[in-house]
Amino acid sequence: MKKRCYLFLLNIFFILLIVINLIEIISGLGISPAIIEDDFKPGLERTFEYSVFGGNPNFELEVYAAGELAEYVKLDKDTLSAGGGKFLVTIKLPEYIEKPGKNRIYIGAREKFDEELAGGTVGTSVTIQAVIVIYVPYPGKYLEISLKSNNVNVGEPVNFELNIISRGDEDVNMTPQIEITSSNKTIENLYFRNRELKSQESITLKKALDTTNYNPGTYNAIAIVDYGKIASAESSFKIGDLFINIVNYTRQIFIGEIKRFDIEIESGWNDNIDGVYAEVFIFNGSERFIDFKTSSTSLTPWERKTITGFFDTSNFLEGFYDANITLIYYGKDIGKTSTELVEIEFIKEAKKITMWLIIAGILLVLIIIGFIIKKYLFKKWKKVK
């Protein structure tokens, strides 16, 4: 048994040595440009220059083309010297491509791994690939659309960008609109004028939403383009107000000496909020029992953070206490406060010990059950086998 353990540890040691050696040998390999997109045209011919950089300084690089249209690609060289270099890629497309939509060509570079130069270690060839996407028109009319929006504060306009691309081989007559919804209810519609879009043509339409009469919250925008068929896209946006929400707080505290009190807060504003801290007042009945302040922080738009305070719990009795949490903060030189009344439970330290004893007892029982299963059931199964 000891011999087996020794051999196992020895194997692990050698594997670690190999991995460390490979990490030292292999460095990052890169290729640029990473992606090129173009529309299909019969007999289209294009030439692109690629750069490869990095890699192992001991190995030459092999460049290649792969993918659905690789047969229409020519490279001006097959190899590059160690460390990288530049090469030209020329594509000459046929008069017709059967498959519509995205057709991809992969332009790659890989290390020509040499075991002798690597010192006899086990190694792998590092490979990097870029992609050329050729969009072949779909038969008939076909639109692809996307919608962008931005977060704002109440009263500021939400700017929409509706991008429409005609991917069919026929021209399209279309009527776009944007539907604003909240809780699955339509609030407002933004309309664009009817227009024509030619095959493989793209257009970006812009529209602004006035949020003066909107309440703070999260909204959904649905772009709908009617061109005999329906194309749709969605984007959500937030309308903020200078307000900080209390997401969570310490609900149970064990009595005894100095304890921490955490408050998780979240910004509901689309700008920075500075000087955020909390004043916490804990009451015993109608009388203020103790008060303290938390640490101060700042919040970026819509950020969530935790602020912490400390106070002496020695004089507390077991039970529930009311606490008043008041947040103080500043946004664009405007000071504001928000208050929330919460309930905190104070527990004796003895209950904490009891809780840990229960957990330890459960773990002990599980260990004993596991031991019994291993000793008897596994032995019985082994005999049957």
pLDDT at res. 369: 79
As a whole-number percent, the residues of the chain with pLDDT over 70 amount to: 84
Comparing 370 with 144, which gets the higher pLDDT?
144
Rounded to whole angstroms, what are the CA distances from 71 to 104, 235, 287?
A: 12, 40, 85
Question: CATH number for the domain including 308?
Answer: 2.60.40.10
User: Quick check: helix, strand or coil at residue 291?
Assistant: strand
The reply to whether 382 falls in a domain is: no
Mean pLDDT of 10-34: 60
Q: pLDDT confidence of 284, banded at 50, 70, 90?
A: confident
According to DSSP, residue 382 is labeled: H
Query: What's the angle, vertex CA 202, arms to CA 196 and CA 140, rounded to 5?
Result: 60
Please tell me the least confidently modeled range out of 108-117, 180-189, 298-307, 363-372: 108-117
**Residue 132 pLDDT more than 70?**
yes
**Residue 22 pLDDT more than 50?**
no
pLDDT at res. 18: 47
The reply to whether 102 falls in a domain is: yes
Contact 298, 277 (CB under 8 A): no
Mean pLDDT of 12-37: 64
pLDDT at res. 297: 96
Q: Do residues 90 and 164 both lie within one domain?
A: no
Comparing 30 with 363, which gets the higher pLDDT?
30
**Residue 350 pLDDT more than 70?**
no
Q: Do residues 79 and 147 both lie within one domain?
A: no
Mean pLDDT of 124-129: 81
pLDDT at res. 286: 79
Contact 130, 35 (CB under 8 A): yes
Comparing 117 with 102, which gets the higher pLDDT?
102
**Residue 347 pLDDT more than 70?**
yes
Mean pLDDT of 169-177: 96
User: Quick check: helix, strand or coil at residue 153?
Assistant: strand
Domain stop point among 102, 121, 136: 136
DSSP per position, 14-55:
HHHHHHHHHHHH---EEEE-SEEEEE--TT-EEEEEEEEEES
Q: Do residues 129 and 148 both lie within one domain?
A: no
Contact 88, 48 (CB under 8 A): yes
pLDDT at res. 358: 75
Output Rg (C-alpha) for the chain, integer angstroms: 33
Rounded to whole angstroms, what are the CA distances from 367 to 356, 359, 362, 363, 377?
A: 16, 12, 9, 6, 15
Domain span including residue 165:
143-240
Number of domains in the chain: 3
As a whole-number percent, the residues of the chain with pLDDT over 90 amount to: 71
Q: Do residues 318 and 270 both lie within one domain?
A: yes
114 vs 238: CA distance, rounded Å: 56
The reply to whether 376 falls in a domain is: no
Q: pLDDT confidence of 2, banded at 50, 70, 90?
A: very low
The reply to whether 357 falls in a domain is: no
pLDDT at res. 368: 79
Burial class (CB in 10 A: 0-12, 13-18, 19+), 365: exposed
Please tell me the least confidently modeled range out of 21-35, 245-259, 325-339: 21-35
pLDDT at res. 374: 65
- Edge-to-edge strand order for the sheet containing 202-209? 143-148, 158-166, 202-209
Please tell me the least confidently modeled range out of 123-132, 243-252, 280-289, 320-329: 123-132
**Residue 258 pLDDT more than 90?**
yes
pLDDT at res. 288: 84
Q: Do residues 164 and 188 both lie within one domain?
A: yes
User: Quick check: helix, strand or coil at residue 58?
Assistant: coil
pLDDT at res. 180: 97
Phi/psi at 350 (nearest 5 deg)?
Answer: -60, -40
